[in-house]
Amino acid sequence: MLRRAKRARVSFDGEDVTKPSSLILDTELIRYKWVSYGGDYPEWQKLIPTEFNTVAHFDTVEAIKATLSLKALSDNPKAYPIDLTIGDGKLIMANPDDKGQADIPADTDGQGFVRIDGQYLTNALKACGGMVDFKLTNSYSPTLFAVDGYQLVVMPMLTDKSKDEQKRDYEAKAKAEPPAEPVTEAVAEAEAVAEAEAKPKRSRKRDKVAVA
């Protein structure tokens, strides 16, 4: 119908166009209306990690070649996880079932391990291109690819190793936190003060004074 229309008028259902409203398209024969929905945009900045324990600087071209080789060795080319081990001046990429492994030269700071979906990893490497900084906090937190101000977050896959690390970290954090102080006495004192203030005050009777 739009191809046959000679004229079309676009408008919004509402006077304030800054607020969610319906988009209206009028032609000679028919009116089209698309309803708009309002909402708050998620705070995506909080998803970008800012603290890291391990960093690797390597060439994405060599890493992409390694991911394609590991994909060819995988039983399922559509879903193939890849283990990444960082340390000692290299990035080791391997299939979880030990069918293949590739060592990529890298400038490393610290040591770390993480498992990432192979397709997500390949897409991230292609998006970054050239030399990239790969940053890890641990094996279960979001990972970060960074190059020339461009940042890309990739979620890792949980493994038995990452679950054990997560459990240890939570237990260590719980032990490090000081126990909460008992508040029973403070609450009882506050309730007593509030109860005393709530009671009506008795007015004192003044003594009569004789006037001569």
Question: Which among 104, 93, 110 has a CA at the least distance from the CA of 55?
Answer: 110
Lowest average pLDDT, out of 3-7, 50-54, 199-203, goes to 199-203
Query: Which residue did the predictor score with more confidence, 36 or 76?
Result: 76
Lowest average pLDDT, out of 37-51, 80-94, 107-121, 171-185, goes to 171-185
pLDDT of residue 87: 96
Question: Which among 54, 88, 58 has a CA at the least distance from the CA of 165?
Answer: 54
Domain layout of the chain by residue ranges = 1-37, 49-162
Q: What fold, for 49-162?
A: DNA Polymerase III; Chain A, domain 2 (3.10.150)
Which DSSP string do the residues of 69-112 spell out, in sequence order? HHHHHSS-TTS-EEEEEEETTEEEEE-TTSS-EEEEE-EEES-E
Flag whether pLDDT at 195 surpasses 80. Answer: no
| pTM of the predicted model as reported, rounded to 2 decimal places | 0.67
Q: 3-state class of 125 per DSSP?
A: helix
